[in-house]
Structure 1
Amino acid sequence: MSDSTTSELPHTAAGGPVSYAIFQLARTHRAHAASLLRALNLHPGQELLLMQLFDHDGQTQAELLERSGLDHSTLSKSLRRMQEAGLLTRQPASHDRRLMVVRLTEAGRALQEPIADMWRTLEQLSVGDLTPDQIQAFTTYARAIEQSVRDHSRQEPGD
């Protein structure tokens, strides 16, 4: 049974129905999150960096790199855009001028509650029709799948 809101599984993806479902879910979720972020004048991913800084302001770029899971060029580009937008500052560390310390500005700090509201809105939209047990099961399965993919990625030669 299918309707206009349900994507049928392409024949080529028949060997990976879970992977295809994850891809479709991630794409749809990210698109909706992007529209909510646009209302805050943010690009997808910037809210995640801000969330790291809300919890631990004054991190080095290396610490943000490790905590965010982004690659170096993506992080640098995002931080540059956010600095140009007046959301944060980057200055050399006093103890080691080679390290750049990232700090929120007042404008960046002012986004904490709007981002928390956006996250709550996205969560309600995402799980509004699920029971608490379904939410817990989904979260457990999603984390297990993520860990499995991470573990496999670490084992691949050439990393």
Structure 2
Amino acid sequence: MADSPSEVGQVAAVPVPGAAGGGPISHAIFRLARLHRMFAGQLLRRIGLHPGQELVMMHLWELGPQRQIDLVRLMDSDAATMTRTVRRLEQAGFVRRRPSPTDKRASLIEPTAASHALRREVERVWSRLEDISTTGLTDDECADALATLERLEENLVQAAARPTEPDIRSRH
């Protein structure tokens, strides 16, 4: 497995395992997501964040203070993961908690002044990640790739909304 950008070409050339032969697109998505997260992690570490934390910050910068449960819903996350993420962002000085004025049981998570300088760095990281991901693609190819990815996402969202499919082992 590749752990550094210099090994990326080696990973992309790895053949699809026979067991994944029935899902070459799914396997490609898996590889792409893993590599994208690896590059995001490398770029984000330079500014003191881990993958996913920048997305929480983006929502807070755009929407303002949020209850933790609202962040869970926005990020399609789980409560335990969000608790850890918020705790780490709080320890780094990027967010703070304050009591909710409307719900005595809840607190609001809000970005700190220190996080606003971080915003420009996050925007640069995302631009760099986009540049890395789309190198060599024309504007039309980028638009086509985005449309295809959105369609794949839509398919998965619709599948997730349907009742659970029967066990695939029972079909054979």
TM-score, with length taken from structure 1:
0.93
Q: What is residue 70 of structure 1 aligned with on the other side?
A: 77
Give the match for residue 50 of structure 2.
43
Deviation for aligned residue 1:62? 2.2
What residue number does 1:118 align with?
125
Partner of 2:95: 88
Q: Does 1:18 align with 2:37?
A: no
* C-alpha distance after superposition, 1:115-145 (max 9, x if no partner): 0000000101110211111111111111111
Q: State the Cα distance separating 1:156 from its structure 2 match.
A: 3.2
* Cα deviation 1:77-128 (Å, max 9, x = unaligned): 1001111111101122012111221111111111100000000001011102
Secondary structure at the residue paired with 1:110?
A: helix
Instruction: Determine the structure 1 residue equivalent to 2:35.
Output: 28
Stretch deviating more after TM superposition (42-51 or 62-71):
62-71
> Which residue identity is paired with 1:69?
D
- Structure 2: give runs of 5+ residues left out of the alignment: 1-8, 165-172
For the pair 1:79 / 2:86, whether they are aligned, the reply is: yes
Instruction: Return the letter of the residue paired with 1:149.
Output: L
Deviates more, 1:86-95 or 1:113-122: 86-95
Query: Which residue of 154, 157, 160 maps to 1:153?
Result: 160
* 2:167 aligned partner: none
TM-score relative to the length of structure 2: 0.86
CA distance in 2, matches of 1:119, 1:38: 13
Q: SS state of the match for residue 13, structure 2?
A: coil
1:68 Cα deviation (Å)?
1.4
In structure 2, distance between residues paired with 1:71 and 1:130: 35
2:168 aligned partner: none
Q: State how far apart, in whole Å, the 1-side matches of 2:144 and 2:102 are.
A: 46
Distance in 1 separating the partners of 2:43 and 2:159: 33
Task: Give the distance between the partners of 1:95 and 1:53, measured in 2 at CA.
Answer: 18
CA–CA distance in 1 between the matches of 2:163 and 2:83? 27
